[in-house]
Amino acid sequence: AQSVTQLGSHVSVSEGALVLLRCNYSSSVPPYLFWYVQYPNQGLQLLLKYTSAATLVKGINGFEAEFKKSETSFHLTKPSAHMSDAAEYFCAVSDRDNQGGKLIFGQGTELSVKP
Amino acid sequence: EPEVTQTPSHQVTQMGQEVILRCVPISNHLYFYWYRQILGQKVEFLVSFYNNEISEKSEIFDDQFSVERPDGSNFTLKIRSTKLEDSAMYFCASRPDRGNSPLHFGNGTRLTVT
């Protein structure tokens, strides 16, 4: 069965600092991987996805993530945090048979950005 | 940009009552989904729907749940007899095809069962 673990339910960084949100997955087959962001009182918005092309995936708002099969990881990074990045971030996995429809989510990481 | 819209944003109901959560997916999308998030827990898959039938459902989606696309634009989730543990945020999602196109989520309906 697939699963996703996000290390750290809450991450706090200073404005301008590096953002690193960790995600590890478990899957018996090569997965599709996603990062979603949820701003307060809003739905889940796709940041980026990995579907077996380049292992370094660039998304919206300056975020990127690298698929590392050997480490079963898909960590999300941004070189310089902005106040507007404060939100909850969810990593999700789907198997290729399902082709990204049924997503298994991690528990989420709340990102705070200090001035 | 087209959006998935959900109504109402917040629904309060008494235990044992029926509730219908409504969603309008993006107009050219063909695959529809419901997810839920109990406060403090993970977002969980409930059901997927295509071509007017359920494609897949989770263990959570028992006989008290049903989905329907009554008129070609709305996509509804009905809970027949609500329980306290049904209190959660319910998200509707859609996507145009079965490839690797991502899900587009609505803003959710917060259901509170008292």
Of the candidates B54, B99, B5, the residue with the CA atom closest to the CA atom of residue A43: B5
Residue with tokens 């590890």: A24
pLDDT at A96 exceeding the cut of 90: no
**Residue in the block written with tokens 């528990």:** A107
Please enumerate in sequence order all residues whose Cβ is within 8 A of that of B89, keeping only pairs 6 or more positions apart, or say none. B36, B37, B39, B108, B109, B110, B111
Answer whether A92's CB lies under 8 Å from A4's CB: yes
Residue A31: predicted pLDDT = 84
Rounded Cα distance, A79 and A53, in Å: 23
Query: Residue B91: its chain A contacts at CB < 8 A?
Result: 43-44
Inter-residue contact A115 to A83 (CB < 8 Å) = yes
| Residues A115, B22: Cα–Cα separation, whole Å | 39
Residue B47: per-residue pLDDT: 96
pLDDT computed for residue A53 by the predictor: 75
B4 in A contact zone (CB under 8 Å):
yes
Nearest-CA distance B4 → chain A (Å): 9
**pLDDT for res B92:** 97
Q: Does position A25 have pLDDT exceeding 70, yes or no?
A: yes
- Asked if the C-beta of B95 comes within 8 angstroms of chain A's C-beta atoms, the answer is yes
Question: Shortest CB distance from A32 goes to which of B33, B56, B100?
Answer: B100
Asked if the model's pLDDT at residue A101 lies above 80, the reply is no
Whether B100 has its CB under 8 Å from any CB of chain A: the answer is yes
Residue pair B92/B106 in contact (Cβ under 8 Å)? The answer is yes
Count other C-beta atoms under 10 Å from residue B20's C-beta: 12
Query: Would you state the pLDDT for residue A99?
Result: 62
How far apart are the C-alpha atoms of A33 and A94, rounded to whole Å? 6
Which pLDDT does position B32 carry in this prediction? 95
pLDDT at site A100: 62
In the structure, what pLDDT confidence band is assigned to residue A102 with cuts at 50, 70 and 90? confident
The tens digit of pLDDT for each residue in A26-74 reads 987 778 899 999 998 788 999 999 987 788 999 999 999 999 999 999 9
For residue A55, the SS3 value is coil
Where chain B has pLDDT below 50, the residues are: none
Rounded to the nearest integer, the mean pLDDT of chain B is 93
Residues of chain A found within 8 Å of residue B31, distances taken between Cβ atoms: 101
Cβ within 8 Å, pair B107-A106: no
- Residue A1: is its pLDDT beyond 90? no
Mention every residue, 6+ apart, whose C-beta is less than 8 A from residue B53: none
Question: Helix, strand, coil: what percent of chain B each, to 5?
Answer: 5, 50, 45
CA distance A2 to A94: 8
